[in-house]
Amino acid sequence: MLRRLFAVLAVLSLPLAGATVVGGATAAPPAAAVGERQKKPTYQATIRVTKHGIPHVTGKTFSDLGYGSGYMAADASACTLVDTLITGRGERSLWFGKDARYDDQVTLEASNLQVDAFVTDLRNRKVVERLLADKVNGPGRQARALVRGYVAGANRWLRDNKVTDPACRKHAYLADHAKGLGKVTELDLWYGVYLANLLASSGVFLKEIVDATPPSPSDPGIPDPGDLPVTLGDLTPAEQEAVLEGLGRGAGNPFGSNATAIGGDRSTTGRGMILGNPHFPWRGRYHFTQQHLTIPGKYDVAGASLIGSPVVNIGWNKKVAWSHTVSTAYRFTPYEYTLLGPTTYLSDTGPQALERRQVKVRVRQPDGSIGTVDEDLWRTEQGYVAESPATLMLWTPASAWAIRDANGEHLRTIDTFLEMGKARNVRDLLRRQDRAAGMPWVNTTAADRAGDVLYADHSVVPNVPDALAQECMTPVGRVLFELAGLPGLDGTRAGSSCAWRTDPDAARPGVFGPTNLPEVVRRDYVMNANDSYWTPHASVRLEGFARIIGCERCERTMRTRMVTQYVEDRLARRGGAGKESPRSLRRHEHENRLRAAEVMAVGNDLVELCNATGETAACGVLERWDGRSTRRSVGTHIFEEFLERAPEGSLWEVPFDPADPFNTPRDLAETNADVQAALKAAIEHLRSEGVPLDARWGSLQVAGDRGARPIPLGGGMGDAAGNANALASRKPVQNADRYKPITYGSSHIQAIAFKDRGRVQARTILTYGQYENPRSRWHQDQTRLFSRGRWVRFPFTSAEIARHLVRSVTLRGR
């Protein structure tokens, strides 16, 4: 046993391959490093790795930072990084087979062939190449340098190291780097970035774009008479929910986040603080790794980055900290075109033929040979034709729909995050964000050293003011607008009176400028939990903005109400003079209060409801339940199962009131037969599944990502239950025998407080760990901390890094 332990420790203490050790144990540099010293390197980055595997990259240029960032991204997530690049090449069918499924864990679930057909056509059209040549919509010099360095660093790691992660180490594309994947190019990464931009727009309709087929005598695409809605009332509640699901806006989509910023007037420090918790996948393309990027005297930013991102997406510098929450705004509009034939549409200038895009996708056959499959895609001047019955967009002999995508018209995302990292305060942060004009699909919440806090939805939104929508919506487009806030516009006028407008202060044509986007700066607090911009504070209402950005005077989720209630309760102390401290703010993350349970507990309504079911044992559990979702809570599973079945229309006695959005709806309808039946069905379900009614929550809800041990977790259902520590189980790959194995939700959580004398107090937790490889010591170390409600003291200053240093390396390369 001791011999095995010493062997493991010896492996863990090895330096990063292909690097020169400059701190810790001394080792001779590898031959490649010696050769590089003989000539001036193009890149040089010093990487200091601290506890939990957090890399702190220092360089003289942005290309140096990219080099270190790309190297460490491959070190932490080689399988996912390479998978992302293969996706950006349109080569999933080549390496994994055309029928296998690709699931980005967010909005896209499609066959490899469908993904490859879409990406191959983007590449055939040279979409990214054109944007790279565009001085307005393309990336700037520093962003290009970051990407150039990142790709070089990733190539360096793949060249010098052997992948040990069981998920991909035996795959053919890694067996021989030269013959398999080959050298990663900057264009590969840019296409990966571009596809991430499309996550909430064309990515939602990727299958419907690839599978769109012109009507024919055998398949005219015409629904049964009377099936097409003329008004919203023509859709049943189930049909309405199906449309929302098709748009990626359904109740079953957990993609979201929380962010709360406390201003200097209500913080004990007199300065700004922020608690940010993005709810993202625990695996795949959209999971985070942490990093710290520094150019001495010029740039110093830490936080978290999505796989394939050389910049910090959520983080802080010495003067400002920010987080993001998924915005309710749309990034696209569908245009409905009148057809004069199956593939001829009417436009402003007369009849036009749909552009038929024929692509050939390389696929690996079952016998290992390589063949090709032909696919057709169709386009109008505005964008791809999408045949999406789920969202009422059909291709019939009378009409067809095409998608214009605002995020498909720029490549400014990396610039946007890069510029935010240079901000001096929250107003400067927003100015820089607006100038870069590439925030793809999220709100921004921020706090600064001076004590100001910001909420803004200045993301990329098609410039479709309500007046334009009213003038241009088709009958079906109006149904989409009334149901989901998405205007379906008249494609026959897409190039003239129904074209997107342009604001004088917009960075480019067709999107809203800052003046027409919501924002507020305060000194007490702001928050967002994925509801619209309307209520960034309990007493603030932002109104008068276009419906395509979000709804106003509309119901808030219980999660939004809980995030707000945490702060309101704290500030109500001492006769309304209470303040948030750094400790109290971060403590909210693990309090695991459930706002729905708190509201239902008023008047003992929840217990009375249970008593009406006759389920004595379960009612005893609910009566003793603490109303929370901590590891030790008993009864949380009964409550979550009840909410899964609760009838939305009859759950409350007092309905939503836009004059009181944080306190309505309320008063549980405990005497309603449907509500009683829902709770009884929940209890019967748990009994039939053999789940003990008195089980502790932590015995039921455990980590479920790849290679995870069943670590008990607090938190749980987000929107309906009102849990800010939102966790969800989506296609678990580990511990699937447990009641709720977690693969989604709370991810890179950061609690940042600015203090006197220039100090920054940074506490973070990456819930699933920095390294995706189950063999790494940094795979689940932070999951165990998260389970216990603990935090990582993120080293930010040189002295802090030195105290937590595990190893240090200098990379030189060309």
Please tell me the distance from the alpha carbon of residue 519 to that of residue 82, in angstroms, as a whole number.
38
The reported pLDDT for the residue numbered 492 is 97
Q: Virtual CA dihedral for 425, 427, 429, 432, nearest 10 degrees? A: -130
The token pair at 180 is 């398999």
Please tell me the distance from the alpha carbon of residue 121 to that of residue 801, in angstroms, as a whole number.
46
The kind and range of the H/E element at 37 are helix 31-37
CA angle 677, 680, 685 (to 5 degrees): 120
The kind and range of the H/E element at 685 are helix 673-688
CA angle 654, 656, 660 (to 5 degrees): 100
Please tell me the distance from the alpha carbon of residue 571 to that of residue 266, in angstroms, as a whole number.
7
- The set of residues, in sequence order, having a beta carbon less than 8 Å from that of 368 and lying 6+ positions away, is none
Distance of CA 21 to the CA centre of its chain: 36
Asked if 452 contacts 270 with a C-beta cutoff of 8 angstroms, the reply is: no
Query: Could you give phi then psi for residue 85, rounded to 5 degrees?
Result: -70, -40
Asked if 698 contacts 714 with a C-beta cutoff of 8 angstroms, the reply is: yes
State the DSSP code for 383.
S
Please tell me the distance from the alpha carbon of residue 111 to that of residue 100, in angstroms, as a whole number.
6
How long is the chain?
Answer: 814
Asked if 459 contacts 304 with a C-beta cutoff of 8 angstroms, the reply is: no
Q: Virtual CA dihedral for 624, 680, 617, 695, nearest 10 degrees? A: -70
Asked if 798 contacts 813 with a C-beta cutoff of 8 angstroms, the reply is: no
The token pair at 107 is 């909005």
3-state SS class at 257 = strand
Please tell me the distance from the alpha carbon of residue 361 to that of residue 462, in angstroms, as a whole number.
32
Residues tagged active-site: 257
State the DSSP code for 609.
H
Asked if 619 contacts 611 with a C-beta cutoff of 8 angstroms, the reply is: yes
End-to-end Cα distance, the chain: 44
Write the secondary structure of 441-459 as one string of H (helix), E (strand) and C (coil).
CEEEEEEECCCCEEEECCC
Query: Is the peptide bond prior to 665 cis by the omega test (within 30 degrees of 0)?
Result: yes
Mean pLDDT of successive 10-residue stretches along the chain, which has 814 residues: 34 38 32 40 94 98 98 98 96 96 93 98 98 98 98 96 94 70 92 97 97 89 64 87 91 81 98 98 96 98 97 98 98 98 96 98 93 98 97 96 98 98 98 98 98 98 98 97 98 98 97 98 98 98 98 98 98 97 98 98 98 98 98 98 96 98 98 98 98 98 96 97 96 92 97 97 98 97 98 98 98 94
Handedness of CA 487, 491, 497, 500 (dihedral sign): positive
State the DSSP code for 235.
S
The token pair at 459 is 């993301």
What CA–CA distances, in Å, run from 43 to 22, 68, 70, 185, 266?
17, 9, 12, 16, 45
State the DSSP code for 497.
T
The reported pLDDT for the residue numbered 229 is 72
3-state SS class at 459 = coil
Asked if 575 contacts 685 with a C-beta cutoff of 8 angstroms, the reply is: no
The token pair at 11 is 């492996």
Distance of CA 246 to the CA centre of its chain: 18
The token pair at 543 is 């109104």
The reported pLDDT for the residue numbered 252 is 67
The reported pLDDT for the residue numbered 6 is 30
pTM, full prediction = 0.94
